[in-house]
Amino acid sequence: MLTERPEWKALQAHRAAMDNVHMRSLFADPKRFDRFHIEFGGLLLDYSRNRTTDETIKLLLDLAHACKIENWRDRMFAGDRINNSEDRAVLHTALRRPAGDIVMVDGENVMPFIHDTLRKMQSFSKAVRTGMWTGHTGQKIKTVVNIGIGGSDLGPLMVCEALAHLPERMDVRFVSNVDGAHLNLTLRGLDPETTLFIIASKTFTTQETMANAVTARAWLINAMQDTKAVAKHFVALSTNEKAVAEFGVAAENMFPFRDWVGGRYSLWSAIGLSICLAYGFETFRALLSGGHEMDRHFQEEPLERNMPVIMALLGLWYRNFWDAQSYAVLPYAQELHRLPAFLQQLDMESNGKSVDRDGKPLSYPTGPVVFGEPGTNSQHSFMQLIHQGTNFVPCDFIGTLEAPIPVGEHHKLLLANMAAQAQALMQGRTAAEAGGDTRRAFSGNRPSNILLLDRLDARHLGMLIALFEHKVFVQGILWNINSFDQWGVELGKTLAGKILRDIDDGARQDIDSSTKYLIKRFKKPS
């Protein structure tokens, strides 16, 4: 058990010793930055602003070794069935590997399958973007609407937003919510003859996605007055061939992936088709290659110079030893505005667990709440609480050295603000420094990391995403949980099915008084 390990107890003792150590005093060491940063491939992790000494890092690394991080990592990359509750391999990393590699699953090398699918994505996206692919009435496609939810939405959406500065962007939109307003507002002004739908659902049974897909299909058929139009305006990203065919998508327009790709890790698979359509296949390839670079870093670097490992350990340090129930992601790049939402799913769905890998209840906290908004906006919103509130909220700042779109002095202002926030959180301001006004005093000693990308391109973005994936993976291993299942979504689905029937048929007698009342109200809107 984690908390009984000697390495854990050593951290507990060390935590007590760190209680009154202020980062200001740690920065008395002029070499602190030198010792606490990692840089490779155009990505810098500056983790100097943490409540950590050399001893802290050493003790955390001891824990990582005791938890056999390297062994688990190698098992993941090798295709072992580490998702034990679903008896599946976890191989999103294979999607980022070069064609010549070999990755065996159940006696099959899956790399040819992966690269066949990539070639299919390449030729399809090229055909659509050049106008070789036409709609039912012979017109070029102008708009792509991706219908998916969760991992079939957040990943591609976040990437498409992040690269909005790239030239030759095709109009790609995303519909996820079952709320009819989402699809309706997205389709306004679109011409069915020039609109292509991507239906993204691993199982092709996801309630929201199928409801939206059926409504979108009706919109198309209603305009075209021909059901055959579906084959030219709908493609599917799925593992379920039968359901895809029944929906009306031609077999050659289904882009497959396998059960060893979890939803929240699926943007690298066929689920990334919308990215290929938005920016062209070469951009998607660069994203994959960035992810693969981070994979190799994670596999090859010793733990003490391993970016995802260090970030994971710092997160655990605050979650388990400083009671930080939440942490903030603060991209200083407007185009990364959906990164926090993406990381919410990645992190909270992976590590929001209360039982260990064997289903035994845990006695220690696991994954934190993740939230964030772009800087500098967050400075005019919730940063007040992070600076002066009573919660302990570690932060990850993310910036890019180059401006994606250089505009006057704007980028300099942006970066100066990011550095200043991190500095303010670290050093604070004593009441004496604030002229005796305690309201204008800051405790400081509030930790943050800075991730600095040379630029916001597909390759660096791929590195960044894979970095967080591996960070979350390492934390899952430390906590001894399965980061790759999500049983917590099940109960709500089951109960929603029952409530749906009740809205039609009248509420059961044996349910709670509130739900009973709601069902009655839903039946007959006021």
Residue by residue, DSSP assigns 281-322 as: HHHHHHHHHHHHHHHHHHHHS-GGG-HHHHHHHHHHHHHHHS
Q: Which parts of 297-356 interact with its own copies (CB under 8 A)?
A: 325-326, 332-335, 341, 344-345, 348-349, 351-355
Look up 380 and say whether it is catalytic.
yes
Helices first, then strands: H and E counts in the chain:
21, 13
- Specify the stretch interacting with its own copies by CB under 8 A; choose among 108-116, 190-198, 222-230, 401-409: 401-409
Q: Is 247 in the site for its own copies (CB under 8 A)?
A: no
* Span near its own copies by CB under 8 A; candidates 5-13, 250-258, 282-290, 361-369: 361-369
Nearer to its own copies, 213 or 277 (CB): 213
Name the catalytic one among 58, 493, 498, 520: 493
Say whether 387 sits in a helix, a strand or coil. Answer: helix
Please answer whether residues 279 and 156 qualify as being in contact, where contact means their C-beta atoms are separated by less than 8 angstroms. no
Residue 61: what residue type? L
415 scored as a contact of its own copies (CB under 8 A): yes
Site string for its own copies, 74-103 (x = CB under 8 A): -----------x------------------
> What tokens appear for 7 in the block?
């390495």
167 binds its own copies (CB under 8 A): no
Q: How many degrees, rounded to 5, is the angle at CA 19 between CA 375 and CA 57?
A: 70
Q: Closest CB to its own copies among 73 and 357? A: 357
For the bound state, the minimum distance from the C-beta of residue 115 to its own copies, rounded and expressed in Å, comes to 29
| Total residues at interface with its own copies (CB under 8 A) | 151
From the CB of 410, what's the least distance to its own copies, in Å? 4
The residue among 100 and 525 lying less far from its own copies, judged by its C-beta, is 525
> How many whole angstroms separate alpha carbon 261 and alpha carbon 251?
21
Q: Which residues between 204 and 233 bind its own copies (CB under 8 A)?
A: 207-208, 211-212, 214-215
Q: Residue 87 is encoded by which pair of tokens? A: 């008896």
Query: To the nearest whole angstrom, how small is the minimum distance from the Cβ of residue 157 to its own copies?
Result: 11
Contact map string, positions 481 to 510, toward its own copies, x by CB under 8 A? ----xxxxxxxxxxxx-xxx--x-------
CA 276 to chain CA centroid, Å, is 19
Q: Is 240 in the site for its own copies (CB under 8 A)?
A: no
Angle (nearest 5°) at CA 10 between 4 and 11: 95
Q: Which of 238, 379, 445, 475 binds its own copies (CB under 8 A)?
A: 379
Closest approach of its own copies to the CB of residue 109, in Å:
31
Residue with tokens 């772009």: 374
The residue within the footprint of its own copies, chosen from 11, 82, 121, 183 (CB under 8 A), is: 183
166 belongs to the binding site for its own copies (CB under 8 A): no
Dihedral sign, CA of 493, 209, 182, 175? positive
Asked if residue 20 binds its own copies (CB under 8 A), the reply is no
**Bridge partners for 46 per DSSP:** 37, 450
- Residue of 380, 410, 520, 523 with catalytic role: 380
Contact flag: residue 388 with its own copies (CB under 8 A): yes
Q: How many CA atoms lie within 13 A of 514 on its CB side?
A: 0
Restricting to residues 134-153, name those near its own copies by CB under 8 A: 149-151, 153
Determine, following the binding rule CB under 8 A, whether residue 178 of this chain makes contact with its own copies: yes
Quote the CA–CA distance of 410 and 413 in Å, as a whole number: 5
Scanning residues 421 to 450, which ones bind its own copies (CB under 8 A)? 421-424, 426-429, 437-443, 450
Q: Please give the Cα distance from 94 to 79 (Å, whole number).
A: 9
The CA radius of gyration of the chain, in Å to the nearest whole number, is 25
User: Active site residue: 193, 208, 293, 349, which one?
Assistant: 349
| Residue 493 annotated to the active site | yes
161 noted as active-site residue? no
Q: Are 390 and 407 in contact (CB under 8 A)?
A: no
Question: Which residues in 254-273 contact its own copies (CB under 8 A)?
Answer: 263
Please name the helix (run of DSSP H) or strand (run of DSSP E) that holds residue 517, with its range, or none.
helix 513-523
3-state secondary structure of 250: coil
Annotated catalytic residues are: 349, 380, 493
